[in-house]
Amino acid sequence: MATVRIPARTTHVAGELDTRRAAEYLWNGRCAYRPPHAARFTPTFAGIMEESMPYAVCANKRHGFTLIEMTLLCTALLASPVTSFGATSAMNPPGEKKQAVVEDSVRGAGKRASGRWAESPIYLSANNMSIATGKPSLVTMSRGSTHIPVWSLSGGTSGQSVAGLVSGLPSGCGAVKVEIVVTTTDASTSPDYQDVYRCHLSQMVEDAPFTSEYVLGTPVRTPLPAGPLYTRTILLDPYYEVKPNAPLWVRIQREPADPADTFTKPTGLAMVKVTPLEALAKSHVVQDVSGYNSWPMIQAIGDKLVCVYSRGTAHSIGEDVRAVYARTSTDSGKTWTKETVVANTPGYGEVTVGKGLDAKGAMFLWVRRIGKDWNHDLYRTTDGVTFTLVATPKLAVTPMQITDVFAVPKVGLMALWFAGNYKDDTSHSWGKLTSSDNGATWTQTVIESRLPKAQWPTEPSAVYLGDGRILAIARIEGGDVYTTRSQFQLVSTDYGATWTRSKTNIGDVSASTPSLILDPETGLLSNYYYQRGKGVLWRRVVDPDSVFDKPLNWPRSEAVAAGSRIGIDSGNVNATAIGRTHYLAFYSGKAPDTAILVSVRPAPIVGD
């Protein structure tokens, strides 16, 4: 993948910033806050502890670098992300070339989201930050006449972080993007190693505690460069909602205790880059009547959208009052027809859990029905109004949920399922259901059983890629604060006969149900998921060939919609497409009242 191939001796210089402006940003920053000790605290190499980075160096020739190398580094600290290095190299395989173009498109989308502030980020240099936790060192990286202040963050001692205040966010901005610029002088640096960082964000809002807007950032892992002195711009938070007139508090922390941080040497934090963003477009409202409207499924039948959802009184799946309803739209989700009842069985709570299309293009809907017993009912509709019960399969392993139906050549129809009790034991399993008679009957296969909860893939979404290959993404239940809390990737190369389960680098998740769309025209795969607690619906776009055997190569995420930050009272995205447009259904609110929403996004285009 292009993000880990950084040709030695390559320097990327920001075309819009000359060296003079680069130096100005590095030394002065654009923040009113400056730690009072910064001007006098510039230790030399001889005075730094062993775990600190040897950036201020003596005249010893074995440490020597040329003046031009340091000058280029000074300018490169304001450069584009390291993913641009070699992105169009002729040595990259065709699949990686395509993925590099996809990543360029994602960056372009981020630039467009910045709107009129795309070229006006706010910088915090090392001198604009002070110690927040632990004992990081503010040191000077010097070579010849070039001197750059950096914060040395240990590769062996946890809990080191620095912080600063960003003021003067422009009026009208709705969010910010936070990036950091890091480097190392250690000769052992290599893409074979990774380091991990996270940010802590909050705002000082009037008449509220300064912790009221606090968000703990997701740990982000990236490979190191191929040689010393090269810089990386690492995206730590693509979208954090802000109030324009309130100061933004930013804390940057390295996570050497994270299993993914394999580089034991110090790294240097040179800069924090905060870019104002436009607020995301408002989502369309499908249903917002009183009650806990939740767990929607959305499916296109021709040019008609069908949104099916469940409503009860709380975040509970078995209450008798919980029933399933449907509405349709023919104007891209702007307006919806009157609500119709799909399932409301006395003595049972019913919840939508999966959807899809049958062999003739009609819509399937899986409804979980819980009462005196536990069932999954399969319904079919051709108009989104009238739903007919097709099957209630009797299965040896009772699923917690049966997920979306998709077609697989030589097999027929397939749906993945998972079963378990969400406890810290080994009662968890997952597998597949297949049908060769268009959904009338189903055969159950267990793929993995006796799994601990930490290794249990739940609520998977799958697509058939061709040539017998299937790729699915599943959510992780619980997990800790490290990169180990990431979505699963499930792949098969033999039409679903055998499977391989791996962890991905998709870590901006919290009980985040994925929903995949494979574009038949471009071949691009979109992974949509809602990060609970953060209140953001994300999308990651990828050439599936670039991640099928490399699940840690998923590119950066982009924000596509926003909702409630209240834990379980939002989330569970489900996606469908009509032509070149994606439609994303999710729920959001605050118990006991939540709403069903639909966000509309253009499909990604290679090179757009």
DSSP string across 157-226? -S--EEEEEE--PPTT--EEEEEEEEE---TT--TT-EEEEEEEEEE--TTS-TTTT-EEPPPEEEEPPS
Q: Which residue has the tokens 């040191």?
A: 139
- Residue 84 above 60 pLDDT? no
8 Å CB contact between 568 and 546:
no
> What is residue 395's DSSP assignment?
-
pLDDT for res 551: 97
Q: Which strands form 558-562's sheet, in the order they lie side by side?
A: 515-518, 525-531, 536-542, 558-562
> What is the C-alpha separation between 198 and 215, in angstroms, rounded?
11
pLDDT for res 107: 54
pLDDT for res 96: 56
- Best CA proximity match to 56, nearest among 142, 152, 147: 142
> What is the C-alpha separation between 242 and 276, in angstroms, rounded?
9
> What is the C-alpha separation between 431 and 78, in angstroms, rounded?
48
Tell which wins on pLDDT, 95 or 576: 576
Superfamily holding 2-89+118-277: Galactose-binding domain-like (2.60.120.260)
Residue pLDDT, tens place only, 273-300: 999 999 999 999 999 999 999 999 999 9
Confidence of residue 607 (pLDDT cuts 50, 70, 90): low
8 Å CB contact between 431 and 447:
yes
**442 Cβ contact partners less than 8 Å away, ≥ 6 residues apart:** 391, 393, 395, 415, 433, 434, 435
pLDDT for res 98: 61
> What is the C-alpha separation between 396 and 566, in angstroms, rounded?
37
> Is-cis flag, bond preceding 592, omega within 30?
yes
> What is the C-alpha separation between 239 and 561, in angstroms, rounded?
10
Pairing of strands 232-241, 267-277: unpaired
8 Å CB contact between 560 and 539:
yes
8 Å CB contact between 352 and 309:
yes
> What is the C-alpha separation between 251 and 129, in angstroms, rounded?
9
Confidence of residue 120 (pLDDT cuts 50, 70, 90): confident
pLDDT for res 126: 96
Q: What is the 3-state secondary structure (H, E, C) of 286-345?
A: EECCCCEEEEEEEEEECCEEEEEEEEECCCCCCCCCCEEEEEEECCCCCCCCCCEEEECC
Residue pLDDT, tens place only, 248-274: 999 999 999 999 999 999 999 999 999
Tell which wins on pLDDT, 429 or 52: 429
pLDDT for res 97: 54
By residue count, the chain amounts to: 608
Residue pLDDT, tens place only, 514-567: 999 999 999 999 999 999 999 999 999 999 999 999 999 999 999 999 999 998
- Residue 15 above 60 pLDDT? no
8 Å CB contact between 518 and 512:
no
Confidence of residue 176 (pLDDT cuts 50, 70, 90): very high
Share of the chain above pLDDT 90, in %: 73
471-to-145, 263, 516, 545 alpha-carbon distances in Å = 53, 31, 10, 10
- Residue 81 above 90 pLDDT? no
> What is the C-alpha separation between 399 and 376, in angstroms, rounded?
8
Tell which wins on pLDDT, 48 or 519: 519
Tell which wins on pLDDT, 493 or 100: 493
Within 13 A of 173's CA, how many CA atoms are on the CB side? 29
Residue pLDDT, tens place only, 201-233: 999 888 888 888 899 999 999 999 999 989 999
Structural domain spans, the chain? 2-89+118-277, 284-602
CATH fold, domain 284-602, is Neuraminidase (2.120.10)
Say what the pTM is. Answer: 0.83
- Residue 62 above 90 pLDDT? no
- Best CA proximity match to 149, nearest among 166, 125, 130: 125
Helices (H), 312-453: none
- Best CA proximity match to 275, nearest among 505, 81, 560: 81
> What is the C-alpha separation between 475 and 486, in angstroms, rounded?
8
> What is the C-alpha separation between 454 and 413, in angstroms, rounded?
29
Q: Is 153 helix (H, G, I), strand (E, B) or coil?
A: strand
Mean pLDDT over 351-377 rounds to 97
- Residue 146 above 90 pLDDT? no
- Residue 480 above 60 pLDDT? yes
**59 Cβ contact partners less than 8 Å away, ≥ 6 residues apart:** none
- Residue 51 above 50 pLDDT? no
- Helix (H) or strand (E) holding 98, with range, is helix 94-113
